[in-house]
Amino acid sequence: MDESWVNSAEGIGADLHLELSGPGGRRAALIGALREAVRSGRLAPGTRLPPYRSLAADLGVARNTVADAYAELVAEGWLTARQGSGTRVAKRAEPLGHAVRVARQGPPRTRGPRHDLRQGTPDASSFPRAAWLTSYRRALQQAPNEVFGPGDPVGRVELREALTEYLARARGVRTEPGRIVICSGFAHALRLLFGQDRGGGGGVLRGPLAVEAYGLGFHRQLLRAAGVRTVPLPLDEHGARVDGLGRERAVLLTPAHQFPTGGPLDPERRAAVVDWARARGTVILEDDYDGEFRYDRKPVGAVQGLDPERVIFIGSVSKSLSPAVRLGWMVLPERYVDEVRAAKGEREAWASVLDQLSLADFLSSGSYDRHVRRMRQRYRVRRDRLVAALATHAPHVEVTGVAAGLHAVLRLPAGTERSAVKAAAWQGVALEGLAEFRHPETDMAAGDGLVVGYATPSEHAYAAALDALCAALPPEETLTADPGRG
* Tens-digit pLDDT profile for residues 292-324: 899 876 778 899 999 999 999 999 999 999 999
Residue 217 and residue 283 in one domain: yes
Predicted local confidence at residue 118, as pLDDT: 94
Predicted local confidence at residue 105, as pLDDT: 44
Read off the pLDDT band of 102 (50, 70, 90).
very low
Residue 198 and residue 68 in one domain: no
Domain of residue 53, CATH code: 1.10.10.10
Domain of residue 384, CATH code: 3.90.1150.10
Average pLDDT over residues 39-64: 82
Predicted local confidence at residue 84, as pLDDT: 67
Name the percent of the chain lying above pLDDT 70.
87
Contact 399, 410 (CB under 8 A): yes
Average pLDDT over residues 447-469: 93
pTM equals 0.77
Identify the residue with better confidence: 266 or 29: 266
Predicted local confidence at residue 62, as pLDDT: 84
Omega before residue 260 within 30° of 0, cis: yes
Residue 85 and residue 218 in one domain: no
Residue span of the structural domain in which 91 resides: 2-105
Contact 292, 281 (CB under 8 A): no
Residue 99 DSSP code: H
Read off the pLDDT band of 111 (50, 70, 90).
low
- H/E/C letters for each residue in 432-447? EEHHHHECCCCCCCCC
Q: Three-state SS for 250? A: strand
Domain of residue 269, CATH code: 3.40.640.10
Predicted local confidence at residue 100, as pLDDT: 38
Predicted local confidence at residue 15, as pLDDT: 57
For the segment 118-161, what is each residue's pLDDT rounded down to a tens digit?
A: 998 899 899 999 999 999 999 999 999 988 988 889 999 999 99
- Judge whether residue 65 has pLDDT over 90: no
Beta bridge partners of residue 287, listed in sequence order: 314
- Judge whether residue 81 has pLDDT over 60: yes
Residue 394 and residue 300 in one domain: no
Distance CA 214, CA 234 (A): 8
Of residues 219, 286, 208, 190, the one with CA closest to residue 245: 208
Predicted local confidence at residue 351, as pLDDT: 85
Domain count, the chain: 3
Residue 183 and residue 284 in one domain: yes
Residue 394 and residue 431 in one domain: yes
Please report whether residue 277 resides in a domain.
Answer: yes
CA distances in angstroms from 382 to 53, 247, 484, listed in the order given: 37, 43, 39
Average pLDDT over residues 178-186: 96
Residue 359 and residue 250 in one domain: yes
Predicted local confidence at residue 485, as pLDDT: 37
Average pLDDT over residues 54-74: 82
Helices (H), 45-151: 52-59, 63-76, 96-105, 129-142
Q: Which residues contact 377 (CB under 8 A, 6 or more apart)?
A: none
Please report whether residue 404 resides in a domain.
Answer: yes
- Judge whether residue 288 has pLDDT over 60: yes
Average pLDDT over residues 376-389: 95
Read off the pLDDT band of 202 (50, 70, 90).
low
Average pLDDT over residues 94-113: 45
Average pLDDT over residues 63-71: 83
Distance CA 247, CA 284 (A): 13
Predicted local confidence at residue 484, as pLDDT: 40
Residue 208 and residue 285 in one domain: yes
Predicted local confidence at residue 74, as pLDDT: 82
Read off the pLDDT band of 112 (50, 70, 90).
low
- Judge whether residue 9 has pLDDT over 50: no
Sign of the dihedral through C-alpha 183, 185, 188, 193 = positive
Residue 69 dihedral angles phi and psi, to the nearest 5°: -65, -45
Of residues 53, 42, 36, the one with CA closest to residue 87: 53
- Judge whether residue 101 has pLDDT over 70: no
Distance CA 158, CA 408 (A): 36
Domain boundary among 365, 396, 423: 365
Residue 263 and residue 405 in one domain: no
Single-letter code of the amino acid located at 256: A
Read off the pLDDT band of 1 (50, 70, 90).
very low
- Judge whether residue 7 has pLDDT over 90: no
Highest mean pLDDT out of 68-77, 139-148, 191-200: 139-148
- H/E/C letters for each residue in 109-131? CCCCCCEECCCCCCCHHHCCHHH
Please report whether residue 358 resides in a domain.
Answer: yes
